[in-house]
Amino acid sequence: MNDMATSLDPITSELIKNALDALVDEMALTLVRTAYSSNLKNAMDLSAAVCDGEGQLIAQGLTLPLHLGSVPEFMRAIIAKLGGKMRDGDIYITNDPYEGGSHLPDMYLCKPIFLDDSTPIAFVVCIAHHTDIGGKTPGGNGCDATELYQEGLCIPLLKLYDEGEANQTVFEFIARNVRIPRQVLGDLRAELACLHVGQEGVRALFEKYGAVQLSAYFAALLNYAERTAKAEIDGLPDGVYSFTDYLDDDGIDPDPIPIVVTITITGDRMIVDFTGSSPQVRGGINCPLSFTESTAYACVRCLMGADVPNNGGYFRPITVIAPEGTIVNPLAPGPVAARGLTGFRIANVVFGALAQAAPDRVPACEIGGDTGVSIGGYERVVQDGKTELRGFVFLEFLYGSWGGRLDKDGIDGVASSVVNFSNNPAEVLEAELPLRIEGYSYLPDTGGAGIHRGGLSLVRDFRLLAEEATLQIRADRTKYQPYGLQGGGAGAPSQNILNPEGEARELPPKPTLTIQRGDVFRHIAAGAGGWGNPFERDPQSVLRDVIEEKVTIAHAHDAYGVVINPQTYEVDEVATQQLRAAE
């Protein structure tokens, strides 16, 4: 193998790398095209990957970085439990966050690929967030569960297919334990289609290059990613960089929850240490170790050049420390349904620490994480003369905006930098569910002030058209706003309001409640942080924001020290200079 490694052709290596990249993207697109749920076919809350025969991640699709860094933990669980027992045609499944998964709605599937009957030469993997997984809360993202058993159906690592034969017991068991079996099973079969495409693509590569040669190229790609990642880390200044941020609460106890990170850079190695973070909490926002690691890898990857391959090789110079029994590495059966919220706060603290090492490359805080909205219930349906109750579950993750950067404003209305979610079109939701989207807009004055402004808050209004439903919200940043950098201001806090044109009832960030026909739920996402002293922002840029209704004239005066004539919409240069000089 050493002789083979020294004779590898760099052009062939690049061709194989690009073929793998194209394949994992084709796998992901297959899942999107064949999925049933809006969360997969529109928002694309899914991931696809290829691993080598040892389970090492060698290619990951342009999907969710927060998923893909968890693939190595999934593969370690498979090999530990099933190594030596795998057969051609097997497909393995789990959603157990304490055995290779990350939370119950995410179903992890894996298919080993064989050229003969001996050992696997590679694995194809996919992950999909399912709209429902049973449990006490529709949508499976409730914060109010106090143990894993309340969160839904937990599937241990087992065979979904045994040598090509479907395990119908598993399919039936899943169908009987979810509110919307047609949609969940449809999405599960979309995952199977994804694996089939991946298998055919990997087999074609092995047939073209041969098992020995292709395995050598896989190893070379991993080693190349490690070398380039080390070079990127070596380009950062050595030092110890710490940062702390807070979650508002866990949905049960009112106390703030600290997430602490200390990043140590020594030469071409990096340690990301979460010692000092909160003990695990009672509510379902604990974050399993695999997701914590994945978040840290994704953040560091954002500082690396585009030439670093997106495979497990770049993980190697990064060591993640997360003490057991903490919110970033809970002990079973700690609840983890809403672990995504903590994952985004982990990203916020890692970026906050990295901003100290690379202040010109890290933007101010984005909105601070997505908001999960679940609305579920039952509708009476008459079919063939029989009346039945048919379940519906709406699940959506609302993203917002990026923070201001060294040379640009934050981007308004975009997914987090550590995921690649897309928007759920209102027309599609209204066609499929008993909901009406009555408002979807930006809110002025919500981006953190700075030389470069933070992105604005998004506002979305949902009206229930069914008789009754359960509304569950997974939100944060009502108390601890997205931070600014280099003197920039914080973004505006988030808000949840029931019936804003009527009772205007303010809701806590993580409630579960029953709503009735005609009720309107409004979510206002947090704004993103600003970058740099706002009194140094170009007054003409402030004027443009006012004209575009992103900033009001009053906010321009108070936050930026810019005086704008409300009749002519021109900057009063003299008054602006005087106002800024007085500060």
DSSP 377: E
Q: How far is CA 185 from the centre of its chain?
A: 23
DSSP string of 164-216? TEE-HHHHHHHHHTSS-HHHHHHHHHHHHHHHHHHHHHHHHHHHHH-HHHHHH
Give the model's pLDDT for residue 1: 44
Buried b (16+ CB within 10 A) or exposed e, 276-292: ebbebbbbbbbbbbbbb
pLDDT of residue 55: 96
Instruction: Enumerate residues 6+ apart whose C-beta is below 8 A from 232.
Output: 303, 304, 305, 308
Both structure tokens of 386: 């029989």
H/E segment holding residue 242: strand 239-247
- pLDDT in tens for each of the 583 residues of the chain? 445 555 789 999 999 999 999 999 999 999 999 999 999 999 999 999 999 999 999 999 888 888 878 899 999 999 999 998 999 999 999 999 999 999 999 999 999 999 987 899 999 999 999 999 999 999 998 899 999 999 999 999 999 999 999 999 999 999 999 999 999 999 999 999 999 999 999 999 999 999 999 999 999 999 999 999 999 999 999 999 999 999 999 999 999 999 999 999 999 999 999 999 999 999 999 999 999 999 999 999 999 998 899 999 999 999 999 999 999 999 999 999 999 999 999 999 999 999 999 999 999 999 977 899 999 999 988 888 888 899 999 999 998 899 999 999 999 999 888 988 888 899 999 999 999 999 999 999 999 999 999 999 999 999 999 999 999 999 999 999 999 999 999 999 999 999 999 999 999 999 999 999 999 999 999 999 999 999 999 999 999 999 999 999 999 999 999 999 999 999 999 999 999 999 7
Sign of CA dihedral 83, 87, 90, 91: positive
Residues 6+ apart with CB under 8 A from 369: 340, 341, 343, 344, 345, 347, 348, 416, 476, 477
Which pLDDT score, from 0 to 100, does residue 369 have? 77
Tell me which DSSP letter residue 261 carries. E
* Polymer length of the chain: 583
pTM of this structure:
0.96
Alpha carbons 119 and 132: distance in angstroms, whole number: 35
User: Is 255 in a helix, a strand, or coil?
Assistant: coil
| Dist CA 321 CA 302 (whole Å) | 20
**Contact by Cβ (8 Å): 378, 389:** yes
Q: Tokens representing 475?
A: 């939100």
pLDDT for residue 583: 76
Centroid of chain to Cα 260:
20
Residue 117 has a pLDDT of: 72
Predicted pLDDT of residue 6: 54
Rounded CA-CA distance 288/296 in Å is: 13
**What pLDDT does 381 receive?**
87
Instruction: Please tell me the predicted confidence (pLDDT) of residue 61.
Output: 83
